[in-house]
A and B are shown apart, each in its own frame.
Chain A
Amino acid sequence: MTKSEKKIIFLIFYFVAAVLPLLSGYFIYLAFSPGLPITAIFYELFPNADLSCFSENGFLKISKPYICDFMWAFAFTFSVSFVLNKTRLNYIKSCSVSFVFSLILELLQMSGIVSGTFDFADILFELLACITAAVIIKNFLRSIENEEID
């Protein structure tokens, strides 16, 4: 594998891992919570969009907040990891930074400083997402480092 090929794989991996979960979470919010500030922007741009058919999915109905929190923390960890590229113990630092910020936001929600609903389960799901992402990042970085450069 050439150095440029490695770089392309690296970029694709991080793009998919950071952007797709974020978009998936956004899509769920679009279908279930059209009145939120981030979704209202979409419906102002596309007033004829109708995602109501997705809002009848029973599984998503129940697990929506946890899935979205998981996706957010997962994408956040990957984005931080991308920025910290080539930093020693990248995956631990990324995981820590994203979890600390998740925790801060939840605590701010609990205290009423920012909007949103505090839920202890959110913190657990965000922690799970950060750890999952860190494990994937660790394995990916290790495998790409072990690849021999032609």
Chain B
Amino acid sequence: MKKSIKAMALIAVIAVFVVFALGSGSKTDENGQTGSGEIVEAEKEAIKEAMAAEVTAEPTTLAPQPTSFTLGDTFTFDGFELTIGTTASFTSVQNQFSELNGKPVVRIPVKLKNVSSETKGFSMFNMKYFGSQGTEISGCSTYFQEDCIEWSGKLRPNASKDVAMYFVYDGDGIYGVDFDDFSNKVSVEFKIKK
């Protein structure tokens, strides 16, 4: 009896820790991952094509809503003035240990300016990326920390910095970035076509 209780408790403990471990794993995209970091030939070709392809980012015509913007627009959010670049480009994740290794990534330049009166950093918690299917997709800031907006660091008042938004490419279509700090919500939408 005592042994079976111990066995059940052990299973419960293992289950709790497995849930923790799985819950802390990043979400895989619908294409799955590339095994132990090896890129298969077909994927290599896809990356080459993605890198070579001319990227045309066409601003979409949006309904005139004050909180909706597109490429080339400038708006203020959370004490920052953000000027979204007019052209998007492709790059790819180069990290053999990442499930995104070799996957095409969209890069959109952003000019970030601190228009508040205090030194502050842009919060990565206020951003969400949405892919061509309208579902939330992963940002790739971890792999592009040198110039991504999420790791832009602190800016003194009136200081500005050229940064970029990086996110996973999941097909041609309308992509979106939502900025939400619980008091203001700004949405940026744009068309990405390879």
Contact = CB atoms under 8 A, between A and B. Distances in A.
Given A38-B24, A72-B17, 14 more contacts: A26-B20, A33-B26, A36-B25, A37-B22, A37-B27, A55-B124, A80-B13, A83-B6, A83-B13, A84-B6, A84-B10, A116-B21, A116-B24, A118-B37
A106 B47 CA distance: 27
B6 A38 contact: no
B86 interface: no
Contacts of B89: none
Interface string A82-102: 111001000000000110010
Nearest to A98: B17
A118 B34 CA distance: 11
A105 B33 contact: no
Q: Which interface class (under 10, 10 to 19, 20 to 34, 35 or more) fits B?
A: 20 to 34
A80 B7 CA distance: 10
A83 B124 CA distance: 40
Q: Give the residue among B28, B138, B154 with the most A Cβ atoms within 10 A.
A: B28
B24 A83 contact: no
28 contacts: A26-B20, A34-B124, A34-B125, A35-B27, A37-B23, A37-B24, A43-B125, A48-B182, A50-B123, A55-B124, A56-B121, A56-B154, A61-B145, A72-B17, A72-B24, A80-B10, A80-B13, A83-B9, A101-B18, A105-B18, A105-B22, A112-B33, A112-B35, A115-B22, A115-B99, A116-B25, A116-B26, A120-B97
B150 to A, nearest CB: 9
Contacts of A146: none
Interface in A34-91: 34-38, 43, 47-48, 50-52, 55-56, 61, 68, 72, 75-76, 79-80, 82-84, 87
A117 B18 contact: no
Contacts of A38: 20, 23-24
A36 B13 contact: no
Contacts of B32: 112
Contacts of B10: 80, 83-84, 97
B125 A50 contact: yes
B123 A52 contact: yes
B122 to A, nearest CB: 9
A75 B153 CA distance: 33
A115 B17 contact: no
Contacts of B14: 80, 97, 101
